[in-house]
Structure 1
Amino acid sequence: MECAAKGSGRTRCTGAATRPCARCGAVAYCSLSHQIEHWSSHKHECDRLEQQMESVHLLNDFPFTFSQEATVQIFLKQETRCSFLSKRGIHQKGMWMIECRCGESSASFDCLRTSWSKEFSLGRLNNSWDLPRNLYPCYAPESQIPVQLHSWSDYYNWRCIPLDSPAALLLHWPLTIYHAAQLVGIGTLNPEVCDKLYLHYLGPEKELLQLDVFGELQALFPGVHIHIELVGPAIPPQRSDALLDGEKISISRYASSNEDQSTCKSASENAILSTQSGITSAVTLQLWHGLYHDRYRDIVKDSSPHLVIAPNGGIAAYPSWLPSIELIEKLDVPAVFTDYCEEACHLAASCIENVINRSFRLPVQVNPFRQPIAVEDSVLLLPCYSNCFVFGM
């Protein structure tokens, strides 16, 4: 962890940040002198961070058998994401490749470009679970979805997945979409949605290497065609041998393991086929390189959104968000944002409210479908999880 006064003091940091603030415990310093120097800035946030630290136990509360290992032990550096994945035989495999530091450094569009191009041309993705069949949803649900899913326990029970399965580490992407839709009143019973749901998904990064997991939206929104426009600078610009800007991807079945592709089948396999057959699939994705406000005119040629969602947006950290926020306000459609910790959401909320000149319709709150594994070496000592908190305008 970095010293909270790094870059703001008159002297350089003397070493590791081992001196936490005795009051809030959310920031740490390399020396007493840096702590004293930084107090003039920190005093304005200390009370707020102290309140946020009181939610540590709530944020670490997951129903899984591995919860202690994935939360407290990783936070205390007794475990790492690499060791967690290695124990389960999924380190550097399939869709798990990007879930640890070594994966973040090696997994890229450049190294996967050729194989992805081939797979997309066949109407499927080259991503897999690399887990035993009983540990992930590779098939349609055995029963109708409940009126609403409220927790990971609800979801695992409905999908008949044992609580020792790490599948939630990837499923937090589609489940966060599901939760966001429920929060703003969009569901399969909403007359405005009918049989089609259009989403504008802003700023995708890691999930671009896990796109197959979005096939679970077939189960979460039964009978609804989901079309998602993914737009962000992390999507490569147009190249002959890569993902193409504007390219459409058909997800025609649930994500499977490389070993189980012959046995894991969609319950509606006869009806959910590739667009190459002229039949619309249950989930389609379209990729757009660039910022939302720059690409919006291109995107809405095909659809206007029912919902705009920006997972792990980091809105306060990037001024380029402001024109997009202004655009979203003009669209007058529900917009839901998530971030890694409550403080990031607080800073984002301040930025957004300065642009729209009103308070949020959806206040900052815990996302029950946050990723159940801690972020390593976060800037703050606050508990941080992917898609941890949710708020909206």
Structure 2
Amino acid sequence: MPPNPTSLEYFKDITKEAQRLAAAEAAGTSTQAFDFSSTVSCSQCGNLAETTKACSACKAAVYCSQKCATAAWKTRRHPKEKTHKELCGDNKRHMLRTPAFTAVLTQFPWGRVEKDGTFSVDLARGRFKVLGGKGFGYWSHRGGPVAHLPAGTLAESLQKQGNYAPIVQQMLKAFDYLDGSALLETQHPNDRDAWKLEPELIPFLNFSSLWSPPRLATKVEIKDWDSWYSWRRLPKESPAALLLHYIMSVYWLVVDTLRVADPKAGKPDGPRVQLSIQYLGAEVELNFLPLFGELALLLPYTDIKLTCFGQAVHTIVSRAKASHPKSLAARASPTVPVYSYTAPEENGSGRIQVFLHGTAAYWTPADADPTSPYGKPNAIVAPNAGLASYPEWFPVILHAHQEEIPFGTTEYAEQSAETQLELFPTLLQTEAAQPGSVTRRRPTDREVEAIRKAAVKRWEYGIEMNPFQRPGQRPVPTKLPNVPNGFTVRVVGK
């Protein structure tokens, strides 16, 4: 079992165990004694359980007792939540994807599947000694399950979920870390200092005679991790996918899901392609914003404007302006990017500028207006969104439909994506009926009806397995495929 996640020594303990595991593998000795399976919580009551039993029909939901299994089959925990009886058939269909998800993970030498089917990303990072908070370059993060959510939101959401809440509260204290802390510095680190890996494992953006750039992206087809690693001339031993899944998911959303960009669209002797992307819900990504430079390599002859929105963005910009006036984040404005990168000429000289929208915690429709400082985007993207779970998304969904702005997201699980899309007709009608405001005009009756009709056609929305998902199953109270950036969702297409 892994070390106690509430211990301040957790990062060190995991790294030590990971080094022992790597040594055993290198020596060819047995690794059966190593088990980093997660302590499972019941799908019904939420309590942690030493042993659980999966549903005999779908093999997905897990329960601590027959009592909980019976309750889940018959009753709803929340008024709009489905019973397991209603979900079981879909669960069985979703479970058919399990081998494909496992294959994404096991193509990597560090892609270990634990006995409970989960993947310990902390263990994988421990192999490379890049597990920790401040001082670990691009890898710096909050620990345990709090790495991608504001502490207050996570703690509040788990207050009533069995005996897990006290553990989360302890973890929040043990792993307090401000996303975007690197932006409180005056400049970005170089590739080697930020990645903290051996050079042969780093996907360099700043090239030299030793580290040459990849082939021009128009000459290759980059469609999954295998083709990306080959194009980047990286061995699969590199853990780059554990960070780059955010950037590559944006690439896949704009190129495949929304089709607002094309690596072959730009020409060396033609006008440059202009691409404006609004990135909503940025959190842990603030720790490695320079990695978005990869998009400039992937989209030759294209000028990319990427604007980040979110509570964590507002927090770091506010902190910077108050106490770090010369920092990268303090300089953030609609006209001053916090990061810029231009790809080499032989790679199509693609350019990207990353902006922080730090004046408010949440996106509003006014931010996508053509007259706003940021202008109307070509696309809105949001990683691991949970669209129907947070009211902050409702005006985004409505406005994207209303103004026909291509909008794509990723979700952890196929089940949650499908459930959310089923709620869209009601959600959109309710949101459209809200009175207008300074930041949003009230839709006309014709627009409301058009939105309603579009939302009713559920299968117009596309849900696909994301080839650039983060490898490995999350430790959640279900056996369903569930990984960061696991599925792409087309909310509004072109």
Quote the offset at 1:29 in angstroms.
1.3
Deviation digits for residues 225-262 of structure 1 (CA, Å, limit 9, x no counterpart): 211111122323424136457474343459xxxxxxxx
Aligned length: 362
Match of residue 259 from structure 1: none
- 2:199 is aligned with 1:133: yes
**What is the CA–CA distance in structure 2 between the aligned matches of 1:370 and 1:196, rounded to whole Å?**
26
Deviation digits for residues 289-347 of structure 1 (CA, Å, limit 9, x no counterpart): 42222662689323211111111001122133112211111221211111111112112
- 2:116 is aligned with 1:81: no
Question: How do 1:135-214 residues align onto structure 2 when only pairs under 5 Å count?
Answer: 135-139=201-205, 141-145=213-217, 146=219, 148-183=221-256, 184-185=258-259, 186-190=261-265, 194-214=272-292
Structure 2: tracts of 5 or more residues without a match: 1-39, 75-82, 148-171, 208-212, 429-450
C-alpha change, 1:344 and 1:70, in structure 2 (3 Å) is: farther
- 2:84 is aligned with 1:6: no
Structure 1: tracts of 5 or more residues without a match: 8-12, 255-265, 273-279
The DSSP-based 3-state class of the residue aligned with 1:166 is coil
**What is the CA–CA distance in structure 2 between the aligned matches of 1:378 and 1:63, rounded to whole Å?**
17
Quote the offset at 1:102 in angstroms.
8.2
**What is the CA–CA distance in structure 2 between the aligned matches of 1:43 and 1:297, rounded to whole Å?**
42
The DSSP-based 3-state class of the residue aligned with 1:304 is coil
Match of residue 98 from structure 1: 141
Quote the offset at 1:42 in angstroms.
0.9
Match of residue 68 from structure 2: 34
Match of residue 403 from structure 2: 331
Deviation digits for residues 156-214 of structure 1 (CA, Å, limit 9, x no counterpart): 11111111111011111121111111122222444899432100111112212221211
**What is the CA–CA distance in structure 1 between the aligned matches of 2:51 and 2:414, rounded to whole Å?**
22
Contact 2:73–2:84 at 8 Å: present in 1 too?
Answer: yes
**What is the CA–CA distance in structure 2 between the aligned matches of 1:75 and 1:81, rounded to whole Å?**
14
C-alpha change, 1:18 and 1:322, in structure 2 (3 Å) is: same
Of the candidates 99, 107, 111, which is equivalent to residue 70 of structure 1? 111
**What is the CA–CA distance in structure 1 between the aligned matches of 2:48 and 2:244, rounded to whole Å?**
41
**What is the CA–CA distance in structure 2 between the aligned matches of 1:29 and 1:153, rounded to whole Å?**
37
Of the candidates 351, 363, 372, which is equivalent to residue 471 of structure 2? 372
- 2:99 is aligned with 1:43: no
**What is the CA–CA distance in structure 2 between the aligned matches of 1:33 and 1:294, rounded to whole Å?**
47
Contact 2:333–2:355 at 8 Å: present in 1 too?
Answer: no
The DSSP-based 3-state class of the residue aligned with 2:294 is helix
- 2:483 is aligned with 1:385: yes
C-alpha change, 1:61 and 1:193, in structure 2 (3 Å) is: farther
The DSSP-based 3-state class of the residue aligned with 1:303 is coil
The DSSP-based 3-state class of the residue aligned with 2:473 is coil
C-alpha change, 1:82 and 1:283, in structure 2 (3 Å) is: same
Contact 1:226–1:283 at 8 Å: present in 2 too?
Answer: yes
**What is the CA–CA distance in structure 1 between the aligned matches of 2:247 and 2:177, rounded to whole Å?**
22
Larger % of helix: which?
Answer: 2
C-alpha change, 1:379 and 1:285, in structure 2 (3 Å) is: farther
Contact 2:117–2:473 at 8 Å: present in 1 too?
Answer: no
Q: Which amino acid aligns with 1:368?
A: P
Output the aligned Cα RMSD. 3.3
Deviation digits for residues 63-96 of structure 1 (CA, Å, limit 9, x no counterpart): 76536x535227546x632222111222222222
C-alpha change, 1:155 and 1:223, in structure 2 (3 Å) is: same
Contact 1:198–1:227 at 8 Å: present in 2 too?
Answer: yes
Contact 1:200–1:309 at 8 Å: present in 2 too?
Answer: yes
Per the normalisation by structure 2, the TM-score is 0.65
- 2:339 is aligned with 1:251: yes
**Which structure is larger by alpha-carbon Rg, 1 or 2?**
2
The alignment-based identity, stated in percent, is 23
C-alpha change, 1:350 and 1:74, in structure 2 (3 Å) is: farther
C-alpha change, 1:361 and 1:324, in structure 2 (3 Å) is: same
Contact 2:411–2:417 at 8 Å: present in 1 too?
Answer: yes
Question: How do 1:296-315 residues align onto structure 2 when only pairs under 5 Å count?
Answer: 296=367, 300-315=372-387
The DSSP-based 3-state class of the residue aligned with 2:355 is strand
Per the normalisation by structure 1, the TM-score is 0.81
The structure with higher relative contact order (CA 8 Å, sep 6+) is 1
C-alpha change, 1:99 and 1:383, in structure 2 (3 Å) is: farther
**What is the CA–CA distance in structure 1 between the aligned matches of 2:115 and 2:386, rounded to whole Å?**
23
Of the candidates 273, 283, 287, which is equivalent to residue 357 of structure 2? 287
Quote the offset at 1:155 in angstroms.
0.8
Question: How do 1:55-66 residues align onto structure 2 when only pairs under 5 Å count?
Answer: 55-62=97-104, 65-66=107-108
Deviation digits for residues 6-26 of structure 1 (CA, Å, limit 9, x no counterpart): 27xxxxx59456121111121
Q: Which amino acid aligns with 1:241?
A: S
**What is the CA–CA distance in structure 1 between the aligned matches of 2:294 and 2:252, rounded to whole Å?**
13
